[in-house]
Structure 1
Amino acid sequence: MSDKFLVTGATGFVGQGLIAMLKRQGAPYCAVARRTAADTAIIPSIDGKTDWQALLPGIGIVVHTAARVHLLADDTANPLAEFRKVNVEGTLNLARQAAQAGVRRFIFISSIKVHGEKNHHGLPFSADDQPRPEDAYAISKYEAEQGLLELARTSGMQVVIIRPPLVYGIGVKANFDLLMKAIIRGIPLPLGAISNRRSFVALDNLLDLIWTCAHHPAAANQVFLVSDGDDLSTPELISRLAFALKVPARLISVPVSLFRSLAYLLGKKKMSSRLCDSLLLDIDKTCRILQWYPPVTMAQALEETAKFYQSQR
């Protein structure tokens, strides 16, 4: 049975890392992206009508990382409809064609946001908790998951769902990159009084789990959470990043209620929630079923991330 991979979203943060790992492992693959890149097949858009047939012969494992990602400010008229077009219809269309082509395993990179935006009563999310998606992005991811698990029940293709929290590592962009910029520039950050706990996952740890899920027999038709197993408060994350970047952590202790109020007035309520609320993951099921443990410590991953960031400045 073929172990050739098809990787969607191959030019994204996770996709690029996955292709690099497959090269190191000597594993055959077909990389797919919506824009031109070296050794990459082009699929300009993903929806319910995308034709994947030319790319699927000989594929044994699909890793679907491509998605319409969540935005802090989404100005589309109907965000949920747009998310569903790509994340639900596009995913299930690819999965149905993959099953018909004889693909043995379909790995779907979902999101911890399927469980909600924050923990309640101090309890971490576990893989078997009842999902409670809140925004359009999370709803679309959960609906895709449900469709994939139903397809697994009615076809011979196995499905694996992975729900990561914020992924960081060498080359990370978006909010993590902005945070490193602020720390390097010595900008005082009014986050010193926050006492939350949040889980993160280094890209290398996520990639290692994907590789395990591609081959482990017990991964079939399961849902897994993934993290570094090292949970931090927002001030602790900033302090560790500052240490890795070899600069002082300029934290100011502003009362959390005041910080939230100011963020609300500035239209940054979602951002303040991500900085102030707790979002913990329990990865016991992942470790127990797969005998998998994060191979890279958070300290190692933050140091590598910071070193690369400074090398690019």
Structure 2
Amino acid sequence: MIDYFIAIYFLNRFEMSKKILVTGATGFLGGAFVKRFCTLPETLVLAPLRNLNSKLPDSVEKTHISNIDQSTEWTQSLTGVSVVVHSAARVHVMHEDPVQSLEKFRAINVEGTLNLARQAIQAGVKRFIFISSIKVNGEATLPGSAFSADDLPQPSDPYGISKFEAEQQLIQLASTGAIEVVIIRPVLIYGAGVGANFQQMMRWLVKGFPLPFGAVDNLRSLVSLDNVVDLVTTCIDHPQAANQVFLVSDDEDVSTTELMQRLITFLGVKTWLVPIPVGVLVSLAGLLGRRATAQRLLGSLQVDIKKTKLVLGWRPSVSLEEGLKSTAQHFLEARK
């Protein structure tokens, strides 16, 4: 009789547990998802990986996949899974032929995503959380205006177009009632271990050379890694998240000049930001063939997360100030 009750206890615990599949589990964002989800009660985390020797928490279940495209076989990885968090993607690749580039983005970001979603439906997955991009909304906003989740999408580069096309087909799958879809469009994500342009900016600052960004009066939304992870964690089982699109930011916008000034303080460096007029910088960038870089540094891109806050009752758990400080501290520690 005792053995019977013990068996029932463990059976109930198994039935109550959630199993979450995270793609891109070794990446900057996917790795943060895995770490957070492993701390959730009654939750199992599964990571499909190219390299099964990849370092992840011991509690993570690993399965092998070679690539993510329209032919990937997901059956083993999806067994028992209730939620998929799809963060793996083909991201920005510079200096590609635009036509070939779009097809390469579509192969992974559209066809690969839809293949996973369709197999998730067959496996009985309840919810599919898709990490998209603010590039679906567009590349820039006018100062004082902001993108919202329900704006008409205006993607312009191959990456943004591929994310938008994936969103549209996921929404179509959700309309059948076969699966719930949640779409998250982050702005620029920063945090401990960030790479790419944000890391490069900190490298510039710690060198101490004068930089020509002392008079940039744009406004840009950013989001800390912790806030993205917190929002996605909320969306795992929030009933109002189903079949919705959400934007996410720290809910505080800054100019490029102010961003660099804050980082200079947190990095403890003495770097002079020279007040060069923005028009001069734009002209120089054009001559050097760096218009896209100039847009990211000098243009505005703001988002309104009112829908995210109202529908989910969610607020950023980390302020912009806190997020930048911890990012700078981690960067300095990594340099030692």
TM range (shorter): over 0.9
Q: For residue 31 of structure 1, what is the aligned residue in structure 2? A: 47
The one of 3, 12, 15 aligned to 2:30: 15
* Partner SS for 1:62: strand
Greater mean alpha carbon deviation, residues 269-278 or residues 184-193? 184-193
The one of 232, 241, 247 aligned to 2:263: 241
* Partner SS for 1:142: helix
Shift of 1:77: 6.0
In structure 1, C-alpha distance between the alignment counterparts of 2:63 and 2:97, rounded to whole Å: 30
Letter in 2 for 1:15: G
> How much is the aligned-residue C-alpha RMSD, in angstroms?
1.4
* Partner SS for 1:210: helix
Shift of 1:76: 7.3
In structure 2, C-alpha distance between the alignment counterparts of 1:306 and 1:77, rounded to whole Å: 38
Letter in 1 for 2:74: W
The structure that has the greater radius of gyration is 2
Structure 2 runs not aligned, ≥5 long: 1-15
Greater mean alpha carbon deviation, residues 25-34 or residues 240-249? 25-34
Note closer, same or farther for the CA distance 1:220–1:14 as it changes in structure 2 (3 Å cut). same
Q: For residue 221 of structure 2, what is the aligned residue in structure 1? A: 199
Q: How many residues align?
A: 313
* Partner SS for 1:262: helix
Q: For residue 100 of structure 1, what is the aligned residue in structure 2? A: 122
In structure 2, C-alpha distance between the alignment counterparts of 1:71 and 1:280, rounded to whole Å: 24
Structure 1 runs not aligned, ≥5 long: none
Shift of 1:210: 0.3
Q: For residue 260 of structure 1, what is the aligned residue in structure 2? A: 282
Note closer, same or farther for the CA distance 1:44–1:124 as it changes in structure 2 (3 Å cut). same
In structure 2, C-alpha distance between the alignment counterparts of 1:312 and 1:214, rounded to whole Å: 32
Q: TM-score, normalised on structure 1? A: 0.97
In structure 2, C-alpha distance between the alignment counterparts of 1:73 and 1:260, rounded to whole Å: 20
- Per-residue CA deviation, residues 19-45 of structure 1 (Å, 9 max, x unaligned), is 111122253110123344135433221
The one of 253, 256, 262 aligned to 1:231: 253
> 1:99–1:155: 8 Å Cα contact kept in structure 2?
no
> 1:47–1:93: 8 Å Cα contact kept in structure 2?
yes
In structure 1, C-alpha distance between the alignment counterparts of 2:178 and 2:245, rounded to whole Å: 18
In structure 1, C-alpha distance between the alignment counterparts of 2:171 and 2:40, rounded to whole Å: 29
> Identity rate of aligned residues, in percent?
51
In structure 1, C-alpha distance between the alignment counterparts of 2:329 and 2:44, rounded to whole Å: 30
* Partner SS for 2:22: strand
> 1:48–1:89: 8 Å Cα contact kept in structure 2?
yes
Q: For residue 218 of structure 1, what is the aligned residue in structure 2? A: 240
Q: For residue 65 of structure 1, what is the aligned residue in structure 2? A: 87
Shift of 1:193: 1.5
Greater mean alpha carbon deviation, residues 252-261 or residues 127-136? 252-261
Shift of 1:2: 5.2
* Partner SS for 2:219: coil
1:141-180 matches, cutoff 5 A:
141-180=163-202
Letter in 2 for 1:300: E
Q: For residue 306 of structure 1, what is the aligned residue in structure 2? A: 328
Shift of 1:258: 1.2
> 2:249–2:303: 8 Å Cα contact kept in structure 1?
yes
